[in-house]
């Protein structure tokens, strides 16, 4: 130490005697360095602040955590294969390889006509890169067993919530062809942006080269459609031959035979009359029309903004890769679009309008919770200012942002993003960490202003008296929250960052309180009290003193005067707890509350026979209903497509999204301040209105309304999976379960993952006749398919910067002039013929026998077993209430099913049971850990029980509050309850520790019990008031997090009142008469 400076920070004349008090002079060197000198505190504050600023700029910003759970879809194409063939020869083979992978949680699949989709979900704990590497290896192993004509499977990594992050529409007077070409150019450009997973174009019409065979010409010349197809495929090849090594003509030799000119394709000889080498060549344009054109229209898109008129458009939606920074990615997408628009290639008259921007939503969501956090900090500071003193309030108030800066740095190091749950975790932690600042500042205030000690003496006394209780209080709260981080599954992964943030806050707050707040408070408190100075109490001290004396007298007279009195209070608290538990059983339970999102997806599925014109008519009428709603900012109408806003889950990825009978609407709500109600409330009203319209005007239409949700994933709340061997039997059981659910109040949008059955005309071959005419089954199938479909037979090389386009082969029928497709009437159907090798034609009725039926559009699996999933949404009731009613009825229904068929409940009901069970186990673990810490700290099982008794006192208020106000208990409320337990036990620790201190000073047990609770009144009420009032902004601003805040508010009200009575009563009843005396261990 330099001359002239005391350990207490007081400057002395050189050569004068030290004026340090004996306590300060004899303090341990480490205590002098960390608690009395400000050097380390200044360094720590600077480090935390600079690190926090740096972390804020580096952290990925999101509205909610982007769950990096390995998920992928495997898509395999086999043109012409029916669903059963796809299942047996493709899906089953790939599933056999994939299901054996370690860490695979679930494998679902659907086999459609010509393609198969398999979704694979790994356990939440799996490492994504390793999981995807092993998945690709397994699919590669399966490829060797697939039929030769099957295209190579493609693997796409998916997110848990795979909804678009950025959506915009192209519209204007540029024309359909120009608009489609520009949309494809935009798609190709955006898909090259790092972080973009997929770009979808709604209403797109691809450019193709269409070959339309003329049936009458084929019949006249005796040409088989298969012959034409083979000729096109065999002529459209490119192949390297090698290299000529010569000084004179050295070159690489290659065959360049792919079609680059439509005229070249038209002139292609496809056959010779009279056989090879004889007769004249038959050119392709003699038997078919060949043109470069837009493909047959199967979908359309229209856009309207602010109640205007719908205009033709294309909807372009962008999905990000898992883990990509949404905010930076959207900014890049916007700048890319702006750069393309400024370039000369942008078509005149074409505009784009952004309809959905996830980055803007993220900033709005973060801003909302940040404002709530700032309001909470301001309220806490004001309350501290009123309850203790302005100097102590400044110290405590400044300690909070320093703590939060350190938390941001820790969040960055831990690999989390900055999202709503992080901010909510900080807000929840704020009401807990302020307790340690209040305890230390209150203690230092009393030591200086009441006891008349110097700053150095006051700091050392405060550390000695309150450091261990404050540490125990923080540790018990950490132990209460830490087990929540062990909850598994998707929900556990989703909420893990919240308790992790709170735990980090508690750790850093204790470090800041001890090593920063105490030593740096010298700047405000160092000269406020000198030894032997006259003691002067402020207004808050005088008010508190009167309240403390009054409470101490009341406790001494009515609570702890006799053991009988104490027993009555304890029994009354037990009775009140039992009543609250009975009341809580009446509360509703749900996993996550609805949220006020800005997106709304609507899907309407018409009967499978509906054509595009019919869908357009229904879409126009529903569009007028939506256009008239004043709460929509924009609406995109999709005909022949489903809305991307209504999907995003893995289950939706297994369902078709394009068909002429599909109608979709993607709507964006106005900001909350410009509409009268929350979006989910408006969505329910709109669902009821559309349901009435469809029931009155459209037969057998299915409606799905999907408001934006804020939980993990985007699946349906109600899911019942049906498993069995036969798809037809499963379809029968699906209709039974759908009828059961539709009969239960509060269930809407009931459907299954297969959709409506599609009329099917099965053509069964006459094998003997086919053999007689010499036509193989493969040849017959390929000829008939060309008559009904338009398959890809090659690619056409383009000179533009877009991808090469497909060459499609189909048949032109009189009812479909200029477009591909099957016959539309019986007369055309009768003209479909099969050709033999010698050119003879045979009527199909001689080879095939038709049979009409209905069939599912796909064959679906779950973990390798055939399955159907019945899905529904809830309206006005929780999923738990609905399933409690549906469960017994479903069990009775299953009893009537054939052996081998069963139903498994999934969706939110299963997630709720799994999550709350895990949370309860975590809570039990926390209880054991907390009790263990309390026993160790207080060396007494009895006192640990007294402190632990504050937990049911807090639960009383929460349970009665949720029952009285009919509030639904969500998983966030469960997290709030765990936080509440930590706060309540903190108060109990400080109260019992104070009682023990008075007991050691010579008070009787009765006096110590009465004084201990009363003299902790100010910090107890300060903590309660700051917590309650500080949570009000968050409770008001966010319905999603309201249950979390209310459970703490209600609980703190009850524990703050009851603990002042029950804790001293228990202390009197459980403290032995020998307490306070030295215990001999001899």
Cα 618 to Cα 55: distance, rounded to the nearest angstrom: 52
Range with the poorest average pLDDT among 580-589, 656-665, 1031-1040: 1031-1040
How confident is residue 15, by pLDDT bands cut at 50, 70 and 90? Answer: very low
pLDDT tens digits for 526-535? 665 544 444 4
pLDDT-derived band of residue 269, with 50, 70 and 90 as boundaries?
very high
Position 4 scores a pLDDT of 45
For residues 385-414, give the mean pLDDT: 86
Strand partners, 157: 72
pLDDT averaged over the chain? 87
Phi and psi torsions of 420, nearest 5°: -55, -40
Question: Torsion angle, CA of 301/302/305/306, rounded to 10 degrees?
Answer: -120
Q: What is the pLDDT of residue 251?
A: 83
Q: Which of 14-23, 422-431, 793-802, 817-826 comes out lowest in average pLDDT?
A: 14-23
Count of alpha carbons within 13 angstroms of residue 229, beta-carbon side: 19
Q: Is the pLDDT of residue 925 over 70?
A: yes
Helical spans, DSSP H, in 715-761: 727-742
Name the pLDDT band for 374 (thresholds 50, 70, 90): confident
The Cα-based distances of 960 to 224, 453, 572, 1045 in angstroms read 80, 46, 16, 15
Q: What number is the average pLDDT over the span 815-844?
A: 86
Dig out the tokens for 463 from the structure. 């550390």
Whether pLDDT at 3 is above 60: no
What average pLDDT does range 134-153 have in this prediction? 92
Superfamily of domain 1-59+388-526: Multidrug efflux transporter AcrB transmembrane domain (1.20.1640.10)
What is the pLDDT at residue 1081?
58
Mean pLDDT of 122-145: 91
> Per-residue pLDDT averaged across 743-762, rounded?
86
Give the other-Cβ count within 10 Å of 237's Cβ: 11
* Tokens standing for residue 621: 């009428």
CATH 3.30.2090.10 placement within the chain: 207-294+759-855
Query: Does position 407 have pLDDT exceeding 90, yes or no?
Result: yes
Q: Is the model's pLDDT at 161 over the cut of 70?
A: no
Does residue 824 have a pLDDT over 90?
no
Q: Spell out the residues 6+ positions from residue 346 whose beta carbon is closer than 8 angstroms to its own.
A: 182, 340
Taking the model in full, what pTM does it have? 0.79
Is residue 278 very low, low, confident or very high in pLDDT (cuts 50, 70, 90)?
low
Structural domain 68-158, CATH architecture: 2-Layer Sandwich (3.30)
Q: Can you give the pLDDT at residue 11?
A: 46
In the chain, the largest separation of any two C-alpha atoms, in whole Å, equals 128
Per DSSP, what are the bridge partners of residue 252?
243
- pLDDT at res. 829: 85
As a whole number of angstroms, the distance between CA 379 and CA 400 comes to: 12
Q: Which two tokens stand for residue 301?
A: 């898109």
pLDDT of residue 511: 94
Q: Which helix (H) or strand (E) holds 32?
A: none
pLDDT above 60: residue 574 = yes
Task: Give, for 830, the enclosing helix (H) or strand (E).
Answer: helix 826-830
Domain with CATH 1.20.1640.10 in the chain: 1-59+388-526
Beta-sheet pairing, 747-752 with 154-158 = unpaired
> Could you tell me if residue 840 is left (phi over 0), alpha (psi between -120 and 50 degrees) or otherwise beta?
beta
How does pLDDT run across 144-154, given as a tens digit for each residue?
A: 999 988 999 99
Q: What is the pLDDT of residue 285?
A: 94
Better-scored residue on pLDDT, 1016 or 610: 610
d(C-alpha 317, C-alpha 319), whole Å: 7
Highest mean pLDDT among 22-26, 252-256, 345-349, 691-695: 691-695
Burial 548-563, CB ≥16 within 10 A → b, else e: beebbeebbeebbeee
Contact 827, 821 (CB under 8 A): no
Q: What's the mean pLDDT in 191-216?
A: 91
pLDDT band at 789 (very low <50, low <70, confident <90, very high): confident
Distance, CA of 1038 to chain centre: 17
> Residue 228 pLDDT more than 50?
yes
Other CB atoms within a 10 A radius of the CB of residue 1066 amount to: 25
pLDDT attached to residue 578? 97
Look up residue 914 and give its two tokens.
Answer: 């799994």
> Has residue 432 got a pLDDT over 70?
yes
CA 241 to chain centre: 53
Alpha-carbon gap, residue 293 to 205, rounded angstroms:
10
**pLDDT band, residue 965 (cuts 50/70/90):** very high
What pLDDT is recorded for position 800?
Answer: 66
Residue 117's DSSP bridge partners are: 75, 110
Q: pLDDT value at position 157?
A: 83
Range 207-294+759-855: architecture per CATH: 2-Layer Sandwich (3.30)
Does pLDDT of 2 surpass 70? Answer: no
Question: Contact, 552 vs 1003, CB < 8 A?
Answer: no
Angle between helices 497-512 and 455-481 (to 10 degrees): 170
380 or 343, which is more confident: 343
pLDDT at 16: 47
Mean pLDDT, rounded, for 1052-1077: 89
Banded pLDDT at 714 (limits 50, 70, 90): low
Task: Give the SS3 label for residue 1074.
Answer: coil
Which among 822, 828, 862 is positioned nearest to 654, based on CA atoms? Answer: 862
* Portions of the chain given CATH number 3.30.70.1430: 68-158
The more confidently predicted of residues 14 and 807 is 807
What confidence tier does 160 reach under pLDDT thresholds 50, 70, 90? Answer: low
How far apart are the C-alpha atoms of 466 and 836, rounded to whole Å? Answer: 99
DSSP 418: B
Rounded to whole angstroms, the Cα distance separating 410 from 404 reads 10
Choose the most confident range, by mean pLDDT, from 411-420, 684-693, 710-719, 809-818: 684-693
Q: Residue 361 belongs to what H/E stretch?
A: helix 358-387
CA nearest to 480, candidates 915, 921, 927, 948: 927
The residue-averaged pLDDT of 3-29 equals 61
Q: HEC states along 77-104?
A: ECCCCCHHHHHHHHHHHHHHHHCCCCCE
Q: Is 149 helix (H, G, I), strand (E, B) or coil?
A: coil
Closest alpha carbon to 168 in 361, 330, 320? 330
pLDDT digits (tens, 9 = 90+) for 479-516: 888 888 888 777 888 888 889 999 999 999 999 999 99
């Amino acid at each position: 130490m330099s001359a002239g400076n005391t350990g207490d920070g007081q400057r002395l004349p050189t050569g004068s005697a030290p004026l340090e008090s004996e306590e300060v002079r004899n303090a341990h060197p480490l205590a002098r360095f960390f608690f009395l000198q400000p050097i380390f505190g200044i360094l720590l504050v600077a480090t935390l602040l600079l690190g926090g600023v740096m972390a804020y700029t580096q952290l990925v910003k999101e509205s909610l955590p982007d769950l990096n759970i390995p998920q992928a879809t495997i898509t395999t194409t086999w043109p012409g294969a029916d669903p059963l063939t796809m299942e047996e020869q493709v899906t089953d083979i790939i599933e056999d390889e994939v299901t054996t992978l370690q860490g695979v949680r679930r494998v679902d699949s659907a086999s459609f006509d010509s393609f198969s989709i398999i979704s694979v979900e790994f356990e939440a704990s799996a490492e994504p890169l390793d999981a995807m590497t092993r998945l690709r290896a397994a699919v590669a192993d399966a490829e060797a067993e697939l039929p030769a004509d099957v295209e190579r499977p493609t693997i796409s990594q998916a997110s848990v919530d795979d909804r678009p992050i950025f959506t915009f529409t192209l519209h204007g007077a540029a024309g359909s062809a120009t608009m489609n070409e520009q949309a494809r150019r935009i798609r190709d450009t955006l898909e090259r942006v790092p972080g973009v997973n997929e770009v979808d174009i709604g209403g797109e019409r691809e450019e193709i080269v269409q070959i339309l065979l003329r049936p009458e010409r084929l019949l006249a010349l005796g040409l088989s459609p298969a012959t034409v197809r083979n000729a096109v495929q065999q002529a459209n090849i490119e192949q390297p031959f090698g290299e000529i090594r010569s000084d004179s003509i050295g070159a690489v030799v290659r065959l360049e035979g792919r079609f680059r000119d439509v005229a070249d394709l038209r002139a292609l000889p496809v056959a010779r009359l009279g056989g090879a080498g004889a007769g004249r060549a038959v050119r392709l344009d003699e038997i078919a029309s060949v043109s470069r054109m837009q493909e047959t229209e199967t979908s359309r898109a229209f856009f309207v903004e602010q109640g205007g008129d719908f205009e033709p458009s294309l909807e372009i939606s962008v999905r990000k890769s898992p883990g990509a920074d949404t905010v930076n990615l959207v900014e890049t997408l916007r700048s890319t679009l702006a750069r393309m628009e400024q370039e000369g290639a942008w078509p005149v008259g074409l505009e784009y309008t952004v309809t959905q921007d996830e980055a803007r939503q993220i900033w709005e969501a973060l801003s909302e919770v940040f404002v709530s956090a700032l309001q909470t900090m301001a309220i806490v500071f004001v309350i501290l200012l009123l309850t203790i003193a302005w100097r102590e309030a400044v110290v405590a108030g400044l300690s909070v942002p320093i703590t939060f800066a350190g938390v941001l740095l820790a969040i960055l190091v831990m690999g989390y993003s900055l999202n709503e749950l992080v901010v909510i975790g900080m807000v929840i932690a704020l009401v807990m960490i302020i307790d340690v600042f209040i305890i230390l500042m209150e203690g230092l205030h009393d030591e200086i202003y009441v006891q008349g000690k110097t700053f150095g003496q006051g700091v050392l006394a405060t550390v000695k008296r309150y450091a261990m209780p404050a540490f125990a209080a923080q540790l018990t709260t950490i132990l209460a929250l830490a087990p929540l981080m062990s909850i598994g599954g998707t929900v556990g992964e989703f909420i893990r960052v919240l308790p992790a943030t709170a735990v980090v806050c508690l750790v850093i707050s204790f470090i800041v309180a001890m090593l920063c707040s105490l030593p740096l408070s010298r700047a405000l408190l160092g000269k406020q009290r000198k030894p032997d100075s006259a003691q002067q109490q402020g207004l808050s001290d005088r008010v508190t003193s009167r309240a403390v004396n009054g409470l101490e007298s009341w406790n001494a007279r009515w609570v702890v005067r006799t053991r009988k009195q104490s027993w009555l209070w304890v029994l009354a608290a037990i009775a009140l707890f039992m009543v609250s538990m009975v009341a809580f059983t009446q509360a509703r339970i749900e996993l996550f509350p609805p949220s006020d999102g800005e997106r709304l997806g609507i899907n309407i599925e018409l009967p499978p026979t509906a054509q595009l014109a019919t869908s357009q008519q229904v879409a126009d009428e529903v569009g007028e209903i939506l256009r008239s709603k004043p709460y929509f900012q924009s609406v995109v109408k999709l005909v022949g497509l489903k809305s991307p806003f209504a999907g995003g889950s893995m289950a939706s990825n297994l369902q078709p999204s394009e068909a002429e009978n599909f109608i979709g609407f993607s709507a964006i709500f106005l900001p909350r301040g410009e509409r009268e109600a929350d979006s989910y409330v408006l969505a329910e009203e709109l669902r009821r209105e559309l349901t009435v319209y469809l029931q009155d005007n459209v037969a057998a239409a299915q409606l799905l309304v999907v408001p934006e949700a804020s939980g993990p994933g985007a699946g349906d709340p109600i899911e019942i999976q049906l498993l069995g061997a036969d798809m037809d039997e499963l379809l029968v059981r699906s209709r039974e379960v759908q009828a059961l659910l539709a009969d239960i109040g509060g269930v809407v949008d009931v459907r299954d993952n297969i959709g409506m059955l599609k009329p099917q005309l099965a053509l069964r071959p006459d094998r003997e006749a086919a053999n007689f005419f010499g036509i193989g089954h493969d040849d017959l199938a390929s000829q008939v398919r060309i008559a009904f479909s338009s398959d890809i037979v090659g690619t056409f090389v383009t000179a533009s910067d877009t991808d090469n386009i497909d060459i499609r082969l189909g048949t032109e029928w009189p009812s479909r002039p200029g477009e591909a497709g099957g016959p539309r009437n019986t007369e055309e159907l009768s003209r479909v013929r099969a050709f033999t090798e010698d050119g003879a034609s045979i009527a199909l009725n001689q080879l095939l026998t038709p049979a009409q039926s209905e069939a599912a559009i796909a064959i679906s699996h779950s973990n390798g077993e055939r399955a159907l999933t019945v899905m529904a949404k809830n309206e006005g009731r929780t999923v738990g209430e609905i399933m409690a009613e549906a469960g017994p009825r479903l069990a009775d229904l299953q009893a009537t099913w054939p052996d081998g068929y069963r139903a498994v409940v999934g969706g939110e009901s299963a997630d709720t049971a799994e999550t709350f069970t895990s949370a309860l186990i975590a809570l039990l673990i926390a209880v054991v850990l907390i009790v263990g810490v309390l026993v160790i700290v207080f060396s007494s099982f009895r006192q640990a029980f007294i402190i632990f008794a504050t937990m049911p006192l807090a639960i009383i208020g929460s349970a009665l509050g949720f029952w009285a106000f009919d509030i639904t208990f969500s998983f966030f409320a469960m997290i709030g309850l765990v936080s509440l337990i930590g706060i309540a036990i903190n108060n109990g620790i400080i109260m019992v520790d104070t009682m023990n201190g008075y007991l050691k000073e010579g008070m009787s047990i009765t006096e110590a019990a009465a004084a201990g609770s009363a003299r902790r009144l100010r910090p107890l009420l300060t903590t309660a008031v700051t917590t309650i009032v500080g949570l009000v902004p968050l409770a008001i601003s966010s319905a999603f997090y309201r249950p979390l805040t209310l459970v703490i508010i209600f609980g703190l009200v009850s524990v703050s009142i009851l603990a002042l009575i029950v804790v001293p009563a228990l202390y009197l009843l459980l403290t032995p008469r020998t307490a306070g005396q030295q215990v001999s261990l001899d």
